[in-house]
A and B are shown apart, each in its own frame.
Chain A
Amino acid sequence: MHSHDFQIPIGPQHPALKEPESFLLTMHGEKITSMTVRLGYNHRGIEKACEAQSYIQDIYLIERVCGICSHSHATCFIQAIEEIAGLAVPKRALYIRTLIAELERVHSHLLWLGVAGHEIGFDTLLMYTWRDREVVMDILALLTGNRVNYSMNTIGGVRRDITAEQKQEILKATDTLEERTKYYIQIATEETTIIKRLSGVGMLLYDDAVNLGAVGPTARASGVDRDIRRDDPYAAYGELKFNVITDKHCDVYGRAVVRVLELMESYKIIRQVLADMPEGPITVKAPRKIPAGEALSRYEAPRGEDVHYVKANGTDRPERVKVRAPTLANVQVVAHMLKDRYLADMPIVIAAIDPCFSCTDRLTSLRDSDSGSKNYMTWPALRSYSIEWHRKQGIDFSDLNKKFKVPGN
């Protein structure tokens, strides 16, 4: 480290981050010379918890991996189970899943556009896009009864049907959103300060995107023509016509362009789904116990490729569930994109991968962040430390030991 260099901690708590995550930047003046990412502040142990619950319960747990792409994770998980169980999901259910998936993409991309605006100090864009996002949120609430965790999926189909009146509502909302999106495309391509702040920032060339394994809009903005919806069709995507948006800018500006143009594709898909949706049942009966087997399921979430692996052992509980959320694939490229950039670019470059840290956080081992030692307190040690600490404050909890059995002792 150069003598004039200094370190600046971005996170775990920082206004630029919506979730706790730690980025330690080494700065030379206003320039970033290196960056280290530390994950793990938001780890909730969902994969492990899935093993202790039945498949049906797991759906609702998996849905809470991510607040924004809840449908993505649930669908991805259920596709794996359905593959193991060999269920033939009714076509109407697949169409409804696709519809919810695209509405979710619309809401996720509009949310991103607002966050991106906020990160570059353009709060007007945030206010406008989040206002318009309410339109799609209302539609999602109308269809599923909920704004974020839709719980639309069940093993073998979906839980709610879509009526003709709801279709009309969706079409009306889609028209409104399309018109607004055109306005945002105009803003993104014409407003000088936005272009100044976005173009040339966070460069990720084609080769780097491929080597570092970027996914989703981040990769597509670097010219990597990859989209699971087209390459490995699931749900009803095999029967729908849409374009995969790519861009050659390779920077944050390209990522913004890809996302706003993807919005237009989503509206196209929503209209097709509503027009082509076949009649019929929305679910088949699924067995409570899933036969032994394993499956890997891929899904194009708004942020990129989502991968779920499920291993079944013939009981009503999975033996192993593994989630690879898109942010885990994309977070590696952030350090690369930030090298030798300005501090002012940091928020937008991090935001440009549309990070979802709660999806990403994994735990391999516990480590003290200061000393690096792997010793950590056991539950009984932590408990006695707490009792001792409170006793020093004048509060005595030692009576509780007599009333309750202390775990571990």
Chain B
Amino acid sequence: MANVLFNILIFPGFLFASVFSLTAEYVDRKLCAKLQNRVGPPWYQPLADFIKLLAKEDIVPQQADSTIFTLMPSIAFTATLTAFFCIPLWQTQSVYPFSSDLIVVLYLLTIPTLTFFLGGWYARSVFSMIGAARAIIQLFAYEIPLFLSILAPAMLAGTLSLSEMTVFYSHHPWLVLLNLMNFAIALVALLGKLEKTPFDIPEAETEIVAGTFTEYSGRLLAFFRIAIDMEMVAGSSLLAAVFLPFGFNLGPALGFILYLAKVLFVVALLSLARTIFARLRIDQMINLCWKYIAPAAFLLLVVDLIVKGFIVK
């Protein structure tokens, strides 16, 4: 019982996930600033922002559905936090491994987008409704490539369990190279999932103010924001576990440091993309995903199947 509580509240649950998410946000913001020739925030800025938002007044618009409006941030937060328990972090086993946990993780990581949609839609403001519609349209564009790109390595390993996948790749390290293209596709899809430039279309500031989050303030916004940070870390951890599955037998201390380095590497790639691209239009984004990225993901899936048939017995 104490162990379960420790897992939920301290590691890898609430405390660790929150602290790591804020750290990842800091790395993202600082790196972005450095690339843009700015000074960037001090290390405690994400925490300061969070505390400041907690202290602010919660405003629920009169015309909004107050139940859904106030419930959505905590659902987003809980879903991303839960995902941490099923992703192998610094050893081949996740905290609570079970067969087909890959599907559960992908599902849990989809929930935040759905909460953005519902929260924005039931805020009943023009800007948040457009943002909500865009979030759900975008979901259909990047989910398929993301699922396909993660499915390919899973097929190669012949399992839908993340823990078994990491075990497989520790035994066949060279097969990781085969999945490098999948890694690129998953990164692009993750950018869409996290609504970061060039796919920050649902919250395009200059068009629809803050999109989904236009009407959110105070604690509700604080929890939405930390949920997004946590989604970034959980998504990056998933990508690190699937596409960078090495160094799991280094022991707790080194393994843990390696895990942090892997996740921050993925976060750094995301911030790099954020600084070098302009925001696409929603139609261009759909085109990009369905015309090029999804077919490429299908092709790579076929490649992985062929390799599996001939090489991996």
Residues of A within 8 A of B (CB): 6-9, 14-16, 30, 117-125, 127-128, 131, 191, 193-194, 196-197, 342-347
Contacts and interface: CB of A to CB of B under 8 A. Distances in A.
B103 to A, nearest CB: 32
B278 A344 contact: no
Contacts of B208: 343
Lowest 4 CB-CB distances: which A-B pairs, in order? A121-B279, A122-B278, A16-B206, A347-B206
Contact of A120 (B36, B37, B278): B278
Given A121-B204, A343-B130, 4 more contacts: A6-B126, A15-B206, A121-B197, A124-B275
B289 to A, nearest CB: 14
A8 B130 contact: yes
Given A121-B278, A196-B280, A9 B206 contact: no
11 contacts: A7-B126, A119-B206, A120-B279, A121-B198, A121-B204, A122-B278, A193-B198, A343-B130, A344-B279, A344-B281, A345-B281
B227 to A, nearest CB: 22
A122 B281 contact: no
A117 B284 CA distance: 18
Contacts, number: 78
Contacts of B284: 196
B310 interface: no
Interface residues of B, number: 27
Interface of B: 35-38, 126-127, 130, 197-198, 200-201, 204-209, 275-284
Contact of A131 (B37, B277, B278, B283): B37
A296 to B, nearest CB: 37
Contacts of B206: 15-16, 118-121, 347
B283 A342 contact: yes
B282 A122 contact: no
Of A9, A124, A347, which is in contact with the most chain B CB atoms at under 10 Å from its CB? Answer: A124
A156 to B, nearest CB: 43
Contacts of B126: 6-9
A122 B279 contact: yes
Nearest to A132: B37
A344 B282 contact: yes
A305 to B, nearest CB: 28
B7 to A, nearest CB: 39
B156 to A, nearest CB: 32
Contacts of A194: 278
Contact of B38 (A122, A127, A343, A344): A127
